[in-house]
Copies of this chain bind each other. A is one copy, B any other.
Amino acid sequence: MITLPLRSRRPSTSDQDAARADEVRGALAAVLPADAFVTTPESVERYSHDEAEWAPYVPALAVVRPRTAEQVQAVVRVCLEHRVPVVPRGAGTGLSGGANAMAGSVVVSLEAMDAVLEVNPVERYAVVQPGVVNDDLRATVAAQGLWYPPDPASSPWATIGGNVATNAGGVCCVKYGVTRDYVLALQVVTGTGELVRVGRRTAKGVAGYDLTALMVGSEGTLGIVTEVTVRLRPARPPEQTVVGHFSSLVAAGEAVAAVTRSGVVPSALELLDRHCLRAVEDWQHLGLEADAAAILLARVDSPGAAGDAEAEAVRLAFELGGATWSARSEDPQQAEALFAARRLAYPALERLGPVLTEDVCVPLAAVPTMLARIEDVAARFDVHIANIAHAGDGNLHPLLMTPPGDEAARTRAQAAFEEIHATAIALGGTVTGEHGVGLLKRGGLVAESEPAVIAMHHAIRAALDPAGILNPGKVVAEPAAPDEDRPAE
């Protein structure tokens, strides 16, 4: 476990630390109601990390659950005054450690700010508090014939605020884009303790820099989001599902490339391997058969005959890629079960032991090669790797599984994790397609970026958070002060 020193932190004895912690808690108590504090040690521990299995954390000095933007602002101002780190947090479903607490920090959970403030069907936007759960927003707007596309697998639990912080993706991104494409405006508490609005509610607007896009995906390091205005689409026609079975991961990868060459843009193109199917079936008993090495699940949503033509084109591409079986699904329940399996793959595998989740994204033409290299890494490093993927985006989630308590396996998995990063970068890809950098991908960000680009990150961060209090150590490691050691990577 490592601690993440704050830029301005100075060495101090634990007595000094405890006194300082009491001081900060007292200052927070002066600006928040008593019921805004999470107090039991177990809860503080639970709120001090996300779902990134191997990312380090330290229990926070305090965990607070504000109910208004003004309370969030008051918390940030206390943290500014006392120069303590503030770590914003949604539902804690992140997979990169972006919401993990560091020593002496205050965790701000936005989950209690969970109101949908407005749904505007004419301008097609919704205004929500950050703690609104993704699926709840989707259901609320669906009741008015509208659609909020971003659909991460964690949508039953993940909050819009967390989705914004990580620029979350999902299944429909292959056709409809990611969270950033749907964020019109934000209310944010800045690193200087100001409560500001950025963005717009009009369809277009180019007045000034796109601070909204800059905030999205910045993982709480440039501001804490207290309100989100999302763009909506009209509800779309019903989707059709196409399923393909493949005798190898690489064959499934070839089929993905064939879909791309067909010119069809599917509304979903997902890959699951046998390990995932089996883990879900063992847990949920959905009636899935797992006799193929990998399956592809595609959906298309063009209306009428055009949709039929798209579905058939996808099925043909599956055959061209070497499918052992392919079909347009006639049974909506079976199609739904397959997509449920896709969503449940991660928690199903987590039941079996610690999972280290990759999130590499490569060019589409490189998908078969990347899948082959992942199999090679699994063999060379003697690590069990299951695979799910937003295959149509080239966004692969190899899941590195280790037996509980097996330290040697953990060490091998860590090495395999780094090797997969390096391979993705070498193929023209990125270490993170949708999960974010957090703590786990900081080295990867540095590996895939020019030093001058990393310097631009530091410059922007210092410009918007001059005191260095906003989720320090995340995305980019803090530059070491002359009298401090660098944080361990």
Contact = CB atoms under 8 A, between A and B. Distances in A.
A444 B206 contact: no
A164 to B, nearest CB: 12
A414 to B, nearest CB: 19
Contacts of A237: 306
A448 B208 CA distance: 10
A237 B310 CA distance: 13
Interface in A274-328: 302-306
Contacts of A448: 207
Interface in A363-403: 363-365, 390, 392-395
A190 to B, nearest CB: 7
A203 B260 CA distance: 12
Nearest to A198: B453
A204 interface: yes
Contact of A202 (B194, B213, B428): B428
A210 B450 contact: no
Interface string A443-484: 011001110110011011011100000000001100000000
Contact of A430 (B202, B213, B302, B306): B202
Contacts of A429: 202
A200 B430 contact: yes
Contacts of A459: 463-464
Contacts of A92: none
Contact of A304 (B174, B306, B460, B462): B306
A203 B174 contact: yes
Contacts of A453: 196-198, 208, 211
Interface in A339-383: 361-365
A363 B432 contact: no
A174 to B, nearest CB: 7
A460 B209 contact: yes
Nearest to A302: B303
A45 interface: no
B210 A216 contact: yes
Interface in A100-130: 122-123
Identical subunits present: 2
A42 to B, nearest CB: 32
A305 B303 CA distance: 9
Contact of A456 (B211, B261, B430, B456): B211
A204 B169 contact: yes
B457 A208 contact: yes
Contacts of A180: 210, 213
Given A213-B213, A450-B196, A463-B459, A436 B206 contact: yes
Nearest to A265: B234
Nearest to A454: B208
Interface in A422-450: 428-437, 441, 444-445, 448-450
Interface string A260-278: 1101010000000000000
Contacts of A393: 202-204
A52 B362 CA distance: 43
A225 to B, nearest CB: 15
B394 A202 contact: yes
Interface string A158-201: 00000000110100011000101100000000101010111011
Nearest to A262: B234
Contacts of A216: 210
Contact of A197 (B207, B436, B445, B450): B450
Given A122-B364, A202-B394, A208-B445, 8 more contacts: A167-B206, A167-B210, A198-B456, A200-B361, A203-B361, A203-B364, A203-B433, A208-B475
Interface of A: 122-123, 145, 166-167, 169, 173-174, 178, 180-181, 190, 192, 194, 196-198, 200-211, 213-214, 216-218, 222, 233-234, 237, 257, 260-261, 263, 265, 302-306, 361-365, 390, 392-395, 428-437, 441, 444-445, 448-450, 452-453, 456-457, 459-460, 462-464, 475-476
7 contacts: A202-B430, A204-B433, A205-B432, A210-B216, A234-B263, A303-B303, A304-B306
